[in-house]
Every structure is written in C-alpha cells, then in structure tokens.
Structure 1
Amino acid sequence: MKDPIGFLRRQQEADTGDAAERWQRMETFYNRRLWHQLTVELLEFTLIPCFPSGDNLLQLYENFISDFEHRINPLSLVEIILRVVRQMNDAQMALSLLEKTWEKVKDNDEALILCRTAIAAIKIKIGDLQETKWAHSSREHLPWAWLHYWGMGFTTLVNCGNVETFFSLKTNWGSQSDLANNEQRLKEKLQLLCLMEMVFTRPANHRQMTFQEISHQAKVPVDEVEMLVMKALSAGLVKGSIDEVDHKVHMTWVQPRVMDLQQVSFMKQRLEAWCADVKNISILVEDHAHEVLG
C-alpha cells in the first residue's frame, strides 16, 4: 500500500537545506490538495541537477506522484514522466510507463502527441518500426508532431550511427527533399558514426576489429572499409592503425560526443570495471610489496 506522506518524510530526514525544504513544501501542498502548486514544485524539483540521478525520479514517481497523477495537468504529467523515463536503462520498462501514461492523457491532444513521439523515438531506437505507421498517418493532421517525431528519431539514429535502421525508414524520410538530395553524404556520415560507436562500445584493451566486422555493421563493402577508416583517422574522429595484411584495424581513441542514456549506462559499467581492475592491482601490489622492497 502506498504511503506518500511516509515517503516524503523519509526524504526530508535524508536531505538537508533546500532539498529538505522542498520536500516539506510538497507535503504541505499534498495535504492541502493544492495540485497546481504541487505540480509547479515537482516540475522545478525534477530539474535540480543533483536529483535526476540513479533511480531517484522513478522512486519519486512510484511512491508519490502516481498517487495523485490524475490531478496533474496532462501536459505537465507527460513532461515529468519523460524525465522519469530518461533514468530507465530498460527500453521495455520505459515503453510500458509511457504507454500507461498515454492512456491517461489521451483526451489532451498536446500531451498525447508528446507521449506518442517519445514512444516512437524509443521504438525506432530498438528497431520496432510499427510506430512509424502512427506518425505517418498523423503528419497531415499534426504537422508539428511529425517534425518532433523525426527530430527525436533522426537524432537518435544518427548519434548511434544506425545505418541499417535509418535506411529501412527511407519510405518515410525519402519524401523530405533535403534528406533525399543528400542521401549519399548522409550515408557516409552515418557510416563514420557507426565506426565511432563500434570503437566506443569496445573495452580500451579490446579495440581490434576486422574489416569484415566493420563492413557488416557499417553496411559498406569490405574493399571500401580501409577508405572509411582512413577518413575517420584523417578527420580526427578516431586514432589507431590499419593492418592491411590481416585486414584488421586497432583503435586507441575515439572522439568524445554527446551520449544518450544507454551510452551513459555503458560508460558507467566501463568505469566500474576499470575501478575494480585498479582495486585488484592495488591489492596485488600491497600483497607483494615486501618481495619488491626486500
């Protein structure tokens, strides 16, 4: 059984300063049923830099907001839910929450569109193209929703260099003259980003890739892989070397760039593994220090 007041009071005890005061204000607004003031407070609170980390927002939603979400302005509710979703590494969990929210706000056009575009962006990322049918059928009646949809989806696909998925959607973006007229240039840039993503997702000590692997992932002929890698090297996107004899490349560095939640989660796992390695080496040195020092 939910205990919103209990949750708020536990947070007040755990926090200090401004955060504790905000928890207190939320309790006051909740008890006095001042839903508008509570919504405004939540919209501000969920943007505090130190708060949207870990699963803080998810806990806030499950233990507090879900108790009175039917009292919140639909558009504001979706804005809050989107912040919660950004903390979720599991795409299916994020979709489940968004789809439940969609049912709750479907009578409000703006909230519905914002919710559906978020669902579409996630589904594009995981390769579920069914949602494009909704966006395609909606664009004549809701042109700005179509632009928002493609803005989110296109950015996601480009950032991760997803060549295959992007071109599987050509029936949708092919009618956009700017994209269609620059298809070859776009493909080349996506292939470079795909190579960067391949380097990024590999551990620093395991960044050797075969021409065949790159060919398969970037959708480029094997005999053009070397040229693709040379372009990336000359543009300063990656650093490394090419083994023309064994048809392999060894990368030592990839240019930093903006990361989505999945990439941030991957980086977190990498850092945790690195910290564990450092700790193990430290223990090893301590255990054998007497042998070295004599």
Structure 2
Amino acid sequence: MASMEVDSGNVSKFLAEQQASAPEELRRYYHDFEDLYDRKLWHQLTTRVEEFVNIPSSGPYLVPLYQNFLTDWEDKINKLKLVQFGLAAATQFEDVSSSVDFLTRLMEKVNAPESQDAYVQAKIETAHWQLLMGKVEETKTAMDECDKLLDGFTTVETVIYASFYRVCAEYYKAKAEYAQYYKNALLYLACVNIDDLTVAEKEERAYDLSISALLGDTIYNFGELLMHPILDSLNNTEHEWLRSLLFAFNSGDIGKFEGLASHFSKQSLLESNMAALSRKICLMSLIEAVFKRSADDRNIPFADIATETRLPVEEVEHLVMKALSLKLIKGSIDQVAQVVHVTWVQPRVLDKDQIDAMRQRLQTWDESVRKMALFVQEEGGEVFA
C-alpha cells in the first residue's frame, strides 16, 4: 500500500492532475479544494471534502485523495470526520487485508484521549473488515473494547452507535446467534434513516431479521419487527411469505403456520428447524389464548388449551411448563382438575389487530362498569343517601 505521508509542496500538482482526469461533475471540487487549502479555511474545506465523498462517482478517487491530500492537513480535520473519510476510502481497496491495514493505521492516529469517539468508530469498522477475513475472535475483542468505551461516554454521535450495532449484528449473524442478531439489528435500524439504505440492503436486513425472529429461542414477541417499516421491504418479493409467517406466529395462528410451511423448502434453516418452529407456534398460540382472555377469566382447562394449540390433552401440561420456564406466563397448574391458573402474561408489542381487540375489550369493560353504576344508582340510592 502506498505511503499515507505526502510532501505539502506536491499538493497543487496532485490536485491539478486529479482534476484533469476526473469526470466533469467532480472537477470543480478540486478547484475548490486548492482554493480553500491555500486560504487555510479548514472547516469549509472539510465540508467540501464531505460533499465530494458523498458523490457515488468519487469512489475511485477517494484513496488518492486521502493519501495525497488529506494527510497533509489531517491535524486540522475533526477526527470523527477524518475517520469517516477514511472509511469511505477503505471500501475502494481491491482486497480486504489492504482495507484492514489502511484502517489500522488510521485507528492509531485517532487513538487519543480527546478523540476516543473517532477511535471507537475506526476500531469497530476495522473489526467489520476483520470479520470478512474470518478473524472472528479479533472482531469479538474489538466489540467488547468498544462496548466498554461507549458506556463511559456522556454523549455519542448516532453514527458511532450505528456502526457499533451494525458490526455486532454482522458478528452474531456469522455465529448464528439469532436472538443477539435480532436485538442488535433492530438497534442499528433505530440509529439510521432506513430511506438512506438501498433497496437491496433493506430487503436483506428484513429477511435476516425475519429468520432470526423465527429461530431465536428467546424471541416470542415479534411486534416490534412487525410494526417496523423495514418489514415492508419484503412486499412484492420472493420472500413476502416470510412476512405473513411472522404475523401468523405473532397471533399464534397454527392454521396459517401450517399453510405457509410449504415454503420452508426455500430456506434450509427453517426446514431443518421445523420441530422447533412447531413447538414455538404452539407456545405463541398459548400466549395468545391467555392474552385474549379477560383478567378474571384466567383459569384455563387443559381441553381449551389443547383446542387452541392443536395438541393432545396429555401434552398440554408439558407445554405449559415450558411456557412457565421461559417466563412467558406466570401461574400454577392443577394437575387433578386439569386447569391452568395464569396470573401474568409477558408484556407484548401489539400489532394493529391485537390493539383493536384490546380496544373492543376495553369497550366491553366500560359498558359493564356503566351498567353496574346504573344498577347501584337505582337499587342502592336510599342506602347511600
């Protein structure tokens, strides 16, 4: 890789050469670079470079610009901006190892007490490239270090959190740790404007989130994903059935689950985990059955649960015990009477249909209270008087 040091006397010559070879839409930037550089207007120059970097056609010119121009005045650049310029340049190397070498040197430059935020972003983005090289342990070490540093910051730019959660999600995807991927991918999406993602990126993220939600052994509430606009990226694609499957799980609809199971052959992970998915939909069906009941109607016979979950009655007790162990519900089992008494059900992020069902129950409750108030008023007036 070429040296990142440059003789300041060659700056004008470099900019002139780049301007002559660049496409028309980029040439004016090189003129502005030289003008602002000569006048030592570092903030305005940084802003102009940022505009240049954001132009798609600038890609092939980013590494030369960084190595032959930015390094001449990098001590005048905001360190977080410098890292972001470096990250853009790192994507232009032909091999991953060159990107890692480039970012490692950049990371060392910003590793100072006053620029730890820039160091974290450089460190975690270097870990991204290391993960692509198969250096999984190095990636995890970087994640742990950055996590500790972030905890110590008072304020952090959102772009740094976005980098951190994105790389964490990539790591957990590589490790097939579905629940952790699900958590970090959603946190990443909370840090970015999804309209800035490409169509392909949105579809891939929605697909991966859907798979992780289904296979995550601790994920039994899909409401947050179902209400997220990223899921709409699956509409009118070959993976649209996944969106329907998530809604079926969230509502515990076993019939719809069985109807969509024919698609599992398109995704080997789902096909190989069919037994686990069947157990999960039964648990989701149990949760939904409890959730739909009013608070004063939580003594549920085994027979009712068997009907809801389509399980034999003799398997209901084991299902309930599983739900209790996962803390999806709280309560007790009366084995003699074959009744489950539920005192609590896991809070849920509701989809629109479930919110409407709750609205209807509240209306029913309100009507009951009104009738009771009228009854007390008519029958107990003298007593209260």
TM-score bucket of the superposed structures, by smaller chain = 0.5 to 0.7
Residues 140-178 of structure 1: per-residue CA shift (max 9 Å, x gap): 4514767743422424774xxx4xxx14x79x949x799
**Counterpart amino acid of 1:149?**
F
Quick one: which of 135, 139, 155 aligns to 1:131?
Answer: 139
Q: Residues 58 and 87 of structure 1 are in contact (CA less than 8 Å); yes or no, is this contact kept in structure 2?
A: yes
The residue aligned with 2:79 is 74
Q: Percent identity?
A: 23
Alpha-carbon spacing, 1:77–1:186, altered in 2? closer, same or farther (3 Å): same
* Deviations 1:99-133, CA, capped at 9 Å, x for gaps: 11111111202101110110111112222112312
Larger Rg: 2
| Structure 2 unaligned residues grouped into runs of 5+ | 1-5, 187-208, 218-261, 271-385
Corresponding residue to 2:265 among 225, 230, 248: 230
The answer to whether the Cα contact below 8 Å between 2:26 and 2:58 also exists between their aligned partners in 1 is no
Alignment of 1:17-36 (within 5 A): 17-36=24-43
Alignment of 1:61 with 2:61, yes or no, is: no
**Using a 3 Å threshold, how does the CA distance of structure 1 residues 139 and 146 change in structure 2: closer, same or farther?**
farther
Which structure 2 residues correspond to residues 92-171 of structure 1 after superposition, within 5 A? 92-107=97-112, 108-128=115-135, 129-143=137-151, 148-155=163-170, 158=173, 162=174, 166-167=175-176
Q: Root-mean-square deviation (CA), in Å?
A: 3.8
SS at match of 2:57: coil
Q: Deviations over 1:67-112 (max 9, x none)?
A: 2222211011001001001112311111111111111111202101
User: 1:40-64 deviations in whole A, cap 9, x for unaligned?
Assistant: 1101011112212xx3211111222
Query: What is the TM-score normalised by the length of structure 1?
Result: 0.52
Ranked by relative contact order (alpha carbons within 8 Å, sequence separation 6 or more), the top structure is: 1
- Which of the numbers 36, 52, 56 marks the counterpart of 1:49? 56
| Matched residues, number | 184
**Unaligned segments of structure 1, at least 5 residues:** 188-226, 236-294
Cα 1:22–1:46 shift into 2, 3 Å: same
- Relative to the length of structure 2, the TM-score reads 0.41
Q: Is the 8 A contact 1:120 1:131 kept in 2?
A: yes
